[in-house]
Amino acid sequence: MTPRLADISIKKRKAERTAYLDLRLIDPASRRDETGGILTDGETIVDLGPRVTHESIPPGTEVIDAQGLIAAPGLVDLRAHLREPGFEHQETIHTASRSAAVGGVTSIACMPTTRPTIDDVSLVHFIERRARETSLVKVHPVAAVTQGRKGTQLTELGLLGEAGALAFSDGPRPIMNANVLRRALSYGTVFDALIMHHAEDLDLTGDGVMNSGETATRLGLEGMAPEAETIMIARDIRLVEMTGGRLHLSSITTAESADLVRQAKARGLPVSADTAPHYLVLNESAVGDYLTFTKVRPPLRSEKDRQALVAALAEGVIDAVVSAHEPRDQDSKRQPFAQAAFGIVGLETLLPLVLEVVASGRLDLVDALALVTCRPADLLGLKAGRLSIGSPADIVLIDPSMTWQIDNQAFQSKSKNSPFEGRTVTGGAVRTVVSGRTVMDIASEN
């Protein structure tokens, strides 16, 4: 599996008329699942369905024969840490975009975990400008809720939203002061802002480094109680009841967390949630012999929690699966487990790991693709995540039968901190199209 990536200069070239033929078309937003083709002209989808054939396409159209492949909307990643500005030794917008292209991700919500923090209009414009100049995919800034992500003083949410911030988050730092989050949610109702929150009571997690329980005790590691997440979620939901603000809970990891979200939705509250693939296919036992690539925040939980999350996905309780892409350099991970940094990279493994959950029989393919396309796009208010006439020509072609091994050293990301090294997966992106231009395709091995 050898990805060929376009040069950034491709964005300056006119997108040509292209037909992708003999596909299985899946558009989760409309529940379309049929055989047919897609015709793009410039940056837009102009026709699709069974009527798009060799005979129907206009003369001079480039033809991509895609028999046996699935065409889906390009993936929309609700949460990724791109590190630029400030931590370019771990990742840049350009290298993250190459990683995204290989993974079939065409739109990324860029978290404000930068230096300086994205808490000012000038920083929102910087991200947008750098994305135009260096990114193969679409990058949308998420601004901080509080200044410097310190959890005390609110940023100018209204001005940041007008400048282009799609949502607001303090990243993996929870807002411990309930009144600060209350004011953010209340203020956000003025312009329908989405407040994304990492639910963790830091007083309960303390110096913990993995899930508390038998495994942590056996390894002699400080545990992070699951209740630190659920207690904070319960608090946050009460704040939504007080304010009516839109709350999105980032990376929920426990069965009780899923129950709390389920109950909030049943009461009609504007609460949504996501989780990440590592919480769906791994549990706390993956820490093994102190494998620092498995050290994430929130930590990997119990097998019971993992199964509950998969069930919540199938039920529709969880709204999105995110890459939670968090690049770390080698020095920060090559430490004793207790001192190693939290985080894994995930842009290139998001799709195959979601397909792994589908292969387990616990999740329908159309529903699974909705979790990484139209549902996160709707949360962000993006015109993305759909295959429909007039929609942007952001497309991923998926080979559902391609079996391959994850190779960390082959990642396009600057950082290689993935716990999935050597894991055999089936299915993955073989062509990624952004605004009608192919930014990645898999070279033939023949």
CATH classification at residue 15: 2.30.40.10
The predicted structure's pLDDT at residue 28:
98
Residue 283 pLDDT level (bands cut at 50, 70, 90):
very high
Calculate mean pLDDT across residues 2-16.
94
pLDDT bin (cut points 50, 70, 90) of residue 444 is: low
| Gap between the Cα atoms of 197 and 177, Å rounded | 12
In this structure, are residues 214 and 285 in contact, taking their beta carbons and an 8 Å threshold? no
Kindly state whether residues 290 and 319 are assigned to the same domain: yes
Our CA angle for 121, 319, 148, nearest 5°, is 25
| Residue 132 domain-assigned (yes or no) | yes
pLDDT of 1 above 90:
no
Q: Which helix (H) or strand (E) holds 233?
A: helix 227-243
176 shares its domain with 80? yes
Domain co-membership, 362 together with 430: no
Q: How confident is the model at residue 374 (pLDDT cuts 50, 70, 90)?
A: very high
Section 4-22 average pLDDT = 96
Structure tokens at 49: 């369905």
Structure tokens at 80: 């990724």
Which residues have CB under 8 Å from 232's CB, separation 6+? Answer: 174, 199, 200, 201
Q: Say how many Å lie between the first and final Cα of the chain, rounded.
A: 11
Q: Which two three-digit tokens encode residue 433?
A: 């199209």
Same domain (yes/no): 198, 289: yes
Q: How far apart are CA 145 and CA 169, in angstroms?
A: 5
pLDDT level of residue 274 (50, 70, 90 thresholds):
very high
The answer to whether residue 273 sits within a structural domain is yes
Region 268-290: what's the mean pLDDT? 97
The pLDDT score that the predictor gives to residue 439 is 98
Tell which of 354, 380, 406 closes a domain: 380
Q: Is the residue at 386 inside a domain?
A: no
- On whether both 247 and 368 belong to a single domain, the answer is yes
User: Is residue 128 in a domain?
Assistant: yes
Same domain, 344 and 395: no
Assign 426 a pLDDT band (cuts: 50, 70, 90). Answer: very high
Q: Which two tokens stand for residue 314?
A: 């199938």
Separation CA 74–CA 381 (nearest Å): 16
Pair 164, 204 in one domain: yes
325 and 399 housed in the same domain? no
- 11, part of any domain: yes
Residue 2 has pLDDT above 90, yes or no: no
What local confidence, expressed as pLDDT, does residue 446 receive?
A: 41
pLDDT in tens, 51-80: 999 999 999 999 999 999 999 999 999 999
- Mean local confidence (pLDDT), 187-194: 96
Instruction: Reply yes or no on whether the pLDDT at 396 is more than 80.
Output: yes
Mean pLDDT calculated for residue range 407-411: 97
Average pLDDT over residues 356-371: 97
pLDDT tens string 296-324: 999 999 999 999 999 999 999 999 999 99
Q: Do residues 161 and 271 both lie within one domain?
A: yes
Greatest CA separation for the chain: 68
Percent of the chain whose predicted confidence (pLDDT) is above 70:
99
Give the per-residue pLDDT at 421. Answer: 97
| Closest to 309 in 3D by CA, of 229, 400, 197 | 229
Within-domain flag for 289 = yes
CA 444 to chain centre: 28
Sign of CA dihedral 305, 307, 309, 315: negative
Mean pLDDT calculated for residue range 77-86: 98
Q: Based on the structure, what is the number of domains in the chain? A: 2
108 & 191 share domain: yes
What is the CATH classification number for the domain harbouring 93?
A: 3.20.20.140
**CB half-sphere exposure, 74, CA atoms < 13 A:** 31
**Per-residue confidence at 278, pLDDT binned at 50, 70, 90?**
very high
The secondary structure of 81-148, three-state, reads CCCCCCCCCCCCHHHHHHHHHHHCEEEEEECCCCCCCCCCHHHHHHHHHHHHHHCCCEEEECECCEHH
Domain-ending residue, one of 346, 380, 414: 380
Q: Using one digit for the tens of pLDDT, what is the confidence trace for 330-363? A: 999 999 999 999 999 999 999 999 999 999 999 9
- Whether residue 349 contacts residue 420, with contact meaning beta carbons closer than 8 Å, is answered with yes
pLDDT at 443: 75
Give how far the C-alpha of residue 258 lies from the chain's centroid of Cα atoms, to the nearest Å: 19
Whether residue 30 is found in the same domain as residue 81: no
Residue 130 covered by a domain: yes
Question: What are 195-250's pLDDT values in tens digits?
Answer: 999 999 999 999 999 999 999 999 999 999 999 999 999 999 999 999 999 999 99
pTM > 0.95: yes or no: yes
pLDDT at 12: 92
End position of a domain, from candidates 353, 380, 407 = 380
Instruction: Look up the domain containing 6 and give its range.
Output: 2-71+391-443
Q: What percent of the chain has pLDDT over 90?
A: 99
In terms of domains, do 300 and 322 share one? yes
User: How far apart are the C-alpha atoms of 311 and 309, rounded to whole Å?
Assistant: 5
Backbone angles phi, psi at 427, to 5 degrees: 100, 145
Please report whether residue 385 resides in a domain: no
